[in-house]
Amino acid sequence: MLRRALLWASRNEVLARRLPRLGFVQRATRRFLPGEELGDALAEAHRMAEQGMPTTLTRLGENVDTPAQADAVLDHYREAMATAQEAGLDTELSVKLTHLGLDQDLDGTANRVHALLEVMPDNQLLWLDMEDSSYTDRTMALTRDVGGDGGRLGICLQAYLRRTEGDVAALEGTRTPVRLVKGAYRESSSVALVEPQAVDRAFAVLTRRLLEARAEERLGRIVVATHDTALLDEAARIAGELELPSDAWEYAMLYGIRPDEQQRLADAGHRVRVLIAYGSEWFPWYMRRLAERPANLVFVARQLLG
């Protein structure tokens, strides 16, 4: 119930305009967001690198209104990549297609993704986030059209969607890198699994399928993106069974969520990439983080009480 309310709030424009102005709300976000500026994110990327963890950057924002806004997002990401490269960071990018203009036109968005791929160093991937299910077909189509068999454009797939096994099948053979997540949006039961246990089971089944496809070189790098210890351990077990080399797959977790677990896995020799989100348009993203674990509201309440 609380989860659904928080996910509803994440799409509410009035709340998105008003709540971020409140000081206590801003303070509460610091746990998951290092700051609003690129420099804040890069400073944390340096800190993570010192702890043995590479990073992925994502600038918060979605559903722009005009192509000019999407062009500005592209310019920002070009600058972010150039700065990260100059600093010698192992940092990748993850972008939302609606931030790059998908609500306006597919071709313009594809051109922007193409332009971003051109500034990515050969050994680093560009990732497409997966948004709500009304965008899945277009995200899949764009991944295939722009990424082709190049293996440098990765896609995020959501275990809670009933269609995901079919999407994996459609990608097999293309060397596409795949990041598996549980899924963060409010979806109807006709398209998504609703029971958490069913989502966990689907995640485990998909992890095996993806890692097996990776072992046979039918997909690119596999990223197991979760904070769920049982699923993290299961992925390591399957990768061990398949004798996958350590650079064939990796874990990814969100900045500020279970940092102790991130460090434990990195210290144990696993590749753990931390996704750092930053920027001023954090409201919908932050609401989705609260929805994942409503106990986080206690932390917000503590900020409210000073």
Ligand X SMILES: Cc1cc2nc3c(=O)[nH]c(=O)nc-3n(C[C@H](O)[C@H](O)[C@H](O)COP(=O)(O)OP(=O)(O)OC[C@H]3O[C@@H](n4cnc5c(N)ncnc54)[C@H](O)[C@@H]3O)c2cc1C
Q: Return the residue of 182, 214, 221, 271 that touches ligand X, per CB under 6 A.
A: 182
Q: Return the residue of 71, 145, 228, 281 that touches ligand X, per CB under 6 A.
A: 228
For the segment 197-216, give every residue that binds ligand X (CB under 6 A).
Answer: none
**CA nearest neighbour of 124 among 144, 152, 145:** 152
Question: Residue 261 contacts by C-beta under 8 Å, 6 or more apart in sequence?
Answer: 227, 229, 232, 253
Q: Rounded to the nearest whole angstrom, what is the least distance from the CB of residue 179 to ligand X in the complex?
A: 6
Q: Under a CB-based contact definition with an 8 Å cutoff, are residues 154 and 124 in contact?
A: no
CA distance 107 to 102: 9
Which residue number, 217 or 299, has a Cβ lying nearer to ligand X?
A: 299
By CB under 6 A, tell whether 178 contacts ligand X.
no
**CA nearest neighbour of 133 among 188, 78, 57, 59:** 188
- Region of 44-52, 65-73, 163-171, 287-295 interacting with ligand X (CB under 6 A): 287-295
DSSP for 53-71, please give it: --EEEEE-----SSHHHHH
Q: Return the residue of 120, 170, 236, 257 that touches ligand X, per CB under 6 A.
A: 257
Which residue number, 17 or 42, has a Cβ lying nearer to ligand X?
A: 42
- Region of 1-9, 104-112, 117-125, 178-186 interacting with ligand X (CB under 6 A): 178-186
- Region of 16-24, 82-90, 106-114, 226-234 interacting with ligand X (CB under 6 A): 226-234
Directed axis angle between helix 196-215 and helix 229-241, to 10°?
20
- Percent helix, strand, coil in the chain (nearest 5)? 50, 15, 35
What are the backbone dihedrals phi and psi of residue 253, each rounded to the nearest 5 degrees, phi first? -135, 165
Query: Would residue 200 show up in a list of annotated catalytic residues for this protein?
Result: no
Q: Return the residue of 130, 142, 193, 276 that touches ligand X, per CB under 6 A.
A: 130
**How many residues form the binding site for ligand X (CB under 6 A)?**
23
- Region of 110-118, 134-142, 170-178, 180-188 interacting with ligand X (CB under 6 A): 180-188
What are the backbone dihedrals phi and psi of residue 182, each rounded to the nearest 5 degrees, phi first? -75, -40
Q: Which residues are identified as catalytic?
A: 129, 179
Chain residues in the site for ligand X (CB under 6 A): 129-130, 156, 158, 181-185, 225-228, 252-254, 257-258, 275, 289, 292-293, 296
